[in-house]
Structure 1
């Protein structure tokens, strides 16, 4: 039997560059299919891996890292319109654009 010797833990800065080919939304758990962070989204049955994350996962990632210029909320707070949260956890397009330029 061959024993594997565990290596040194990889620094987070190097890990980020190795995952650069993945969509940045994969850094959060998917609320739709339940995929763990840094794992691809799947169909609900879990049989097929999807090439792109679910829109709900992208919204969760945007909500986690960006402030919203439209409704003036900080990261982690859902977007709202006239005091009511947007349906299905959606975010304003301005917040999505802000997340695209915010470093991870």
Structure 2
């Protein structure tokens, strides 16, 4: 059996651009199913892999990566409504996160 020869290692910057496109929310861990960063979400009951991330993961990604234009908070700070914490992020924060990811 012959040994398989590989060429020079590919730089990570090129590998990242050639990789199949994936949802940018996969950059963070999923708080719903516990999927690690850069891994697909899965159903907790069966373990089946999902094509799209859970909404909780998308919310966590938006919170981690973008400032909220609605309530003027920095990345990683949860959104609020007049001082009361929200269960999710504002819609404008999703838009801001998508713009910075593009």
State how 1:74-93 maps to structure 2 within 5 Å.
74-87=74-87, 90-93=88-91
5+ long unaligned stretches in structure 2: none
Q: TM-score w.r.t. structure 2 length?
A: 0.84
**CA drift at 1:10:** 4.3
1:38, 1:44 → 2: CA distance?
Answer: 17
Give, in whole Å, the separation in 1 of the partners of 2:46 and 2:3: 31
> How many residue pairs align between the two structures?
101
Aligned to 2:14: 14
Distance 1:50 1:65 in 2: 23
CA drift of 1:16 comes to 3.0
Q: Which runs of 5+ in 1 are unaligned?
A: none
Q: CA 1:8 to 1:100, structure 2 compared with 1: closer, same or farther past 3 Å?
A: same
Match of 1:34 in 2: 34
Residue 19 of structure 1, CA deviation: 4.0
CA contact (8 A) 2:24 2:101 kept: no
Match of 2:43? Answer: 43
Q: Distance in 1 between matches of 2:49 and 2:84?
A: 34
Larger Cα Rg: Structure 1 or Structure 2?
2
Alignment partner, residue 99 of structure 2: 101
Mapped to 2, the partners of 1:58 and 1:52 lie a distance apart of 10
TM-score by length of 1: 0.82
Runs of 4+ in 1 over 3 A off after TM superposition: 7-10
